[in-house]
C-alpha cells in the first residue's frame, strides 16, 4: 500500500521517444489498469515502475521517495518474466520467499510456496522444472511467486493474456480477492491489459494510453461497486457505457494515426 507518483515521465530507446510526458498518481491501495494499443509503451512504463530501467526525464516516487532500482516492495509479473529454468517451480517460489522473508524457517516457506501454487491451480508441479510445464502453467507459477511475497505493490504486464478463459476468470477473481481481503493493507496495483472488459472488471481507474509517442490519453474512474460480479456486469449500464467509451477512445487513437497519414505499426493488434 503505497502512493506512486509519475511526474513528467519521458523515455526514449536510442533517441526514439517511447513515452512522453506521463503524469499520473496512483493513490495508496488503488487498482490501476493501463490500457492501450501495442507499442504505446505499457511494458516500458511497467519496467520503469519496477526499477528495471530509469526514465530519460521526470521522476517516479513511491511514497515520495524516488524509485532507484528493483525492490521487494514491488512484486512483478511480466509477459516474458520467466522462471529460472534450472530450478523447479517450487524452488522458484521458495527463492523469492527467502529473499522476502529471510528470517522464516525454510520448511514454512516451502509450505507457503506450495499453497500459492495450489491457489493458482498448480497442484503437483512443485518438483517440476519449468521446461516440463506449459507456457500457461509457467505463467501461473510466476503469478504464484508474485502473490506469495505479498508485496504492497503489484506490477503485472498482461499476466493472464496467455491463459484459457476459465483459468483467466479464476485468476482475475483470485487477484481481486487478494487485493480486497484487507482494506488496511490493500496493495497498489498497476495492471497492463489490452482487454477492455478485464480492465473494467478489475480497476479503480483505467488509464488509456495512446501512441506515438506513448502518452496518457484519458483517465477513467470505474464507479462500479465491489465485489463485482462478472455475470451481472453485462447488464450493468455503467459497465456498458464505460466499455463503449473506452473502445471509442482506443479506436480514436488509431483513427488519429490514419488522419495524420502515419504508418500504423499496430493495425489489428492490441485492441
Using CB under 6 A, list all residues that contact ligand ADP.
Answer: 13, 18, 36, 38-44
> For residues 43 and 139, which CB has a smaller minimum distance to Mg ion in the complex?
43
Residue 250 interacts, among ligand ADP, Mg ion, none and using kind-specific CB cut-offs from 5 to 8 Å, with none
On the CB side of 252, how many CA atoms lie within 13 Å of its CA?
Answer: 11
Q: What is the largest CA-CA distance in the chain?
A: 61
**Nearest distance, CB of residue 112 and ligand ADP, angstroms:** 31
> For residues 42 and 140, which CB has a smaller minimum distance to ligand ADP in the complex?
42
Alpha carbon distance 256, 262 (integer Å): 9
Residue 202 interacts, among ligand ADP, Mg ion, none and using kind-specific CB cut-offs from 5 to 8 Å, with none
CB atoms within 10 A of CB 228: 17
**Nearest distance, CB of residue 18 and Mg ion, angstroms:** 11
Burial 231-260 (b: 16+ CB within 10 A, else e): eebeebeebeebbeebeebbeebbeebeee
> For residues 125 and 142, which CB has a smaller minimum distance to ligand ADP in the complex?
142
* Cell numbers describing residue 108: 514454512
Alpha carbon distance 202, 189 (integer Å): 10
> For residues 32 and 93, which CB has a smaller minimum distance to ligand ADP in the complex?
32
Binding mask 42-71 for Mg ion (x = CB under 5 A): -x----------------------------
Size of the site for Mg ion (CB under 5 A): 1
Residues at the interface with Mg ion (CB under 5 A) = 43
Amino acid at each position: 500500500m503505497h502512493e506512486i507518483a509519475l511526474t513528467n515521465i519521458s523515455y526514449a530507446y536510442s533517441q526514439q521517444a517511447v513515452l512522453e510526458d506521463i503524469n499520473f498518481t496512483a493513490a495508496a491501495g488503488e487498482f490501476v489498469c493501463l490500457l492501450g494499443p501495442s507499442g504505446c509503451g505499457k511494458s516500458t512504463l511497467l519496467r520503469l515502475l519496477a526499477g528495471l530501467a530509469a526514465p530519460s526525464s521526470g521522476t517516479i516516487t513511491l511514497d515520495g521517495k524516488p524509485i532507484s532500482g528493483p525492490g521487494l516492495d514491488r512484486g512483478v509479473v511480466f509477459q516474458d518474466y520467466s522462471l529460472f529454468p534450472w530450478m523447479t517451480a517450487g524452488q522458484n517460489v521458495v527463492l523469492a520467499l527467502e529473499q522476502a522473508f529471510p528470517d522464516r524457517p525454510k520448511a514454512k516457506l516451502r509450505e507457503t510456496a506450495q499453497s500459492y501454487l495450489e491457489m493458482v491451480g498448480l497442484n503437483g508441479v512443485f518438483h517440476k522444472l519449468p521446461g516440463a510445464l506449459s507456457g500457461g502453467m509457467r505463467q501461473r507459477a510466476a503469478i504464484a511467486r508474485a502473490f506469495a511475497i505479498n508485496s504492497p505493490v503489484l506490477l503485472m504486464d498482461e499476466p493472464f493474456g496467455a491463459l484459457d478463459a476459465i483459468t483467466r476468470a479464476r485468476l482475475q477473481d483470485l487477484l481481486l480477492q487478494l487485493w480486497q481481503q484487507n482494506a488496511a493493507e490493500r496493495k497498489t496495483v498497476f495492471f497492463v491489459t489490452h482487454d477492455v472488459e478485464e480492465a473494467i472488471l478489475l480497476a479503480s481507474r483505467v488509464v488509456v494510453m495512446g501512441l506515438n509517442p506513448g502518452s496518457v490519453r484519458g483517465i477513467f474512474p470505474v464507479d462500479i461497486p465491489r465485489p463485482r460480479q462478472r455475470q451481472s456486469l453485462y447488464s450493468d449500464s455503467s459497465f456498458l457505457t464505460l466499455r463503449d467509451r473506452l473502445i471509442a477512445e482506443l479506436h480514436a487513437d488509431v483513427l488519429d494515426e490514419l488522419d495524420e497519414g502515419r504508418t500504423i505499426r499496430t493495425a489489428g493488434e492490441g485492441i
